Amino acid sequence: MTGVVLQLDAVGKSYRTGTLRVDALRGIDLGIGVGEYVAIMGPSGSGKSTLMHILGCLDTPTSGTYRLVGVDVGELTEDELAEVRNRLVGFVFQQFNLLAHLTALRNVELPLAYAGVPGDERRRRALAALDRVGLSDRVGHRPRELSGGQQQRVAIARALVTDPALILADEPTGNLDSRSTRDVLALFDELHDQGRTLVLITHEEEVAARAQRVLRIHDGGLRVPAQAVRR
């Protein structure tokens, strides 16, 4: 491990809906190093997605501090937060979250377009990312013309294309059959072997077992991790 990608200190997140307050995260202390492959497990409603939103700078903590590549995200404006998110984080979601009217290539180009990368370089990098996930022959297909597993691989290409410091996947295999699940997990293994930092959120033990370290969240709190280094 050559450095720290992210660090949470006593992070809490409360939601308010009318007079009701839900403490979705409480006192989370967590550090993740460069090149680590970490799985976060927990039952439905335990706070997994809330934690992913904070890790990915889609939301900010209501208490404690979160540093991503040394940047204290609590100190940032909305615009700065969006910039950090686009530059440093790649997302993979259960529902793929591809734009239905855009081809695979255009979907993968999108984060580069937001980052202001010129058209020809955008295209070249998006094609390379699609090749990386084994979809060179599907670049002109729209999401509805692809299988679920292929759509998720397009989403992984989109997550990779900006060369992010952190790849976050929230239940990435939740909508996939067993064959596509194997393909996607094999791809994550390869990305890990190449030194990528991966955080994968799941409620499936078999999926979590692929990671080097498994963290368990219950009722918004993290159980002290068992350090289980697999390779």
Residues that bind Mg ion (CB under 5 A): 48-49
Among 17, 19, 178, 194, binds ligand ADP (CB under 6 A): 17
Judged by CB, which is closer to ligand ADP: 22, or 209?
22
Contacted entry of Mg ion, ligand ADP, none for residue 13, CB cut-off 5 to 8 Å set by kind: none
Which is nearer to ligand ADP, 50 or 152 (by Cβ)? Answer: 50
> Rounded to the nearest whole angstrom, what is the least distance from the CB of residue 49 to Mg ion in the complex?
3
Among residues 30, 39, 46, 146, the one that binds ligand ADP under rule CB under 6 A: 46
Q: Are 86 and 104 in contact (CB under 8 A)?
A: no
Q: Which residues have a Cβ under 8 Å from the Cβ of 123 and sit 6 or more positions away? A: 105, 109
Residue number, 179 or 223, with CB nearest to ligand ADP: 223
Residue number closest to Mg ion, CB atom: 49
Sign (positive or negative) of CA dihedral 185, 44, 175, 13:
negative
Count residues near ligand ADP (CB under 6 A): 12
Is 95 an interacting residue with respect to ligand ADP (CB under 6 A)? Answer: no
> How far apart are the C-alpha atoms of 198 and 35, rounded to whole Å?
7
Name the minimum Å distance from CB 167 to Mg ion.
17
Stretch that binds ligand ADP, among 47-55, 126-134, 160-168, 182-190 (CB under 6 A): 47-55
**From residue 125, how far is each of 119, 153, 162 by CA, in Å?**
10, 15, 9
| Strands of the 20-33 sheet, one edge to the other | 20-33, 4-17, 63-68, 71-72
Interacting residues of 109 by C-beta distance below 8 A, sequence separation 6+: 122, 123, 126, 161
